[in-house]
A and B are shown apart, each in its own frame.
Chain A
């Protein structure tokens, strides 16, 4: 770890403008990390993007970190880059360990955040307020084992292999389209009669 690298000059400006909402900052392996308050994160990120002195216009990544140490909070991490200034900043939001895991979505600031936030929701169970379409992305929609990258999630999954197989086979394969997609073209009414019949039977009997 090299503590010699200078702190990103954005941090003093952030402190001057947002005061106590900037919790702490550190320089770790040459990169500056700023922890900000969850309640004002959207405001701070918007300022970082739009202020003429900052212009962090490129959202590199959104992810989350949960530590093995159960005392440490779960962190939502934003990697920001300013293309015009060629500067880099990591912004973190600490979330209390016992929840609720909720932060404001930044999809309105960067469209690229859409899928990144969906992945954080899918993998860590962090809800993004104001996200236009917060669905699971890597796991399937009716996945019921929780959020795989949480530390309390066992490496092999919560269910035994046979239970996983049972659930996978028991899943309604005809209902592979989401309801939203079905509504697009009223596809349900267009389905062949035998498929509709099968769906109806399944809905009633559950198999």
Chain B
């Protein structure tokens, strides 16, 4: 039966036929008797991005398609390259911290902490107990706001708009807290080598505690929307699978590595900031697909809330800056009344803080994965080399491996599940 399939859309109707019925545009022409229909068998080349909402930044993907199946993906990066590593070689250590805000701009406080920790390890500086706990709070808040953006944008890519609004509402509340603390919302520049730019304001810990008790309800609501949602399961399960061996081979890190079943978390395996003294679990997936990455990140947010509450309980009083006049600026009052303080101030501002000859690689568990700061010093106040080991860069490098063989629409879901931020990939 060579029955014509027709497009049932009145809008596509070009006119009426002789009988007064609307003519319809045939979707597929009827095959002539006895002949094979002539189908296009060529592969199609399409270009996604760099300006496309589903690429989460200025990522450009050149995709070769066979019908709707992705045969090959060639990612192109570099559109946001700013030469941060080069700039860092011309700046004092404290002057680099504003640059770290702009790498992974969705979790700026965690980047500030990562850089300060590396510089302190290099210079051999001990930070105060209060500073340590406040930095843990900053890191875990960053993890939550970064994962909130991830969950919101991934859901919107897959077609669930509600989650996006709920997540961004919570993110806004965290940003209000960060604004109270640092004065900035996105580019916080929270840390200094040896301390912090400011202590938390009065009553801040109470407001954070209140938020911590309310926030898990939003996570539960999102889980109620997505966890057993047939559309969500269909779009995410068995999509973009990376086995444990492949994840290690591709140097994936963070939730991408753990969703594939590799239980590696820098906070547990190379503890810093006293993470070994906190009671929290590291969620690990089984299948390494988009769905497991969702589960891992949702659970990480709950564990971050646990850590935040423990940090609030133990937050000690005391100074936030190390008592080290080499690296910490004196108070305004001492600067104006004490000659020695004035000399320290002058030397720090004009000459910077020299680091001893040596080098350090300091990994931290950032929301996106393992952020490594590799600093090489030749004894001057400016690093010879400041290398960022960007987690998103390595995670997105595995995109061709994950996406090839899937449908084009799955490519969007897989790309979203990687949780990239181009500021960090391009640096």
Contact = CB atoms under 8 A, between A and B. Distances in A.
Interface of A: 1-2, 28-29, 31, 33, 57-61, 63, 65-69, 77, 79, 83, 86, 88, 90, 110-116, 119, 123, 136-140, 148-149, 153, 155, 177, 181, 184-187
B378 A115 contact: no
A176 B232 CA distance: 36
Contacts of A112: 249-252, 394, 397-398
B384 A65 contact: yes
B401 A111 contact: yes
A57 B257 CA distance: 14
B264 A149 contact: no
Interface in B350-371: 356-361, 363, 370
Contact of B85 (A31, A111, A149, A187): A149
3 A-B pairs closest in CB distance: A112-B251, A185-B45, A138-B78
Given A61-B374, A67-B378, A116-B394, A185 B360 contact: no
Given A61-B387, A67-B384, A149-B86, A140 B78 contact: yes
Contact of A155 (B74, B81, B86): B86
Given A33-B359, A115-B393, 20 more contacts: A1-B358, A28-B360, A29-B359, A31-B360, A60-B251, A60-B372, A63-B385, A63-B389, A65-B384, A68-B378, A77-B374, A79-B361, A79-B372, A86-B270, A90-B361, A114-B397, A119-B393, A138-B427, A184-B72, A187-B45
A31 B124 contact: no
A112 B398 CA distance: 8
Interface string B375-419: 010101000110101000110011001000000000000000000
Given A1-B356, A112-B397, A181-B62, A60 B124 contact: no
B248 A28 contact: no
B269 interface: yes
Given A115-B397, A155-B86, A185 B121 contact: no
Contacts of B86: 148-149, 153, 155
Contacts of A90: 361
Contact of A79 (B87, B389, B426): B389
A138 B81 contact: yes
Interface centre among B42, B77, B397, B401 (most CB of A within 10 A): B397
A184 B64 contact: yes
B45 A1 contact: no
B44 interface: yes
B87 A155 contact: yes
B360 A61 contact: no
B117 interface: no
A155 B82 CA distance: 12
Contacts of B47: 177
A57 B245 CA distance: 10
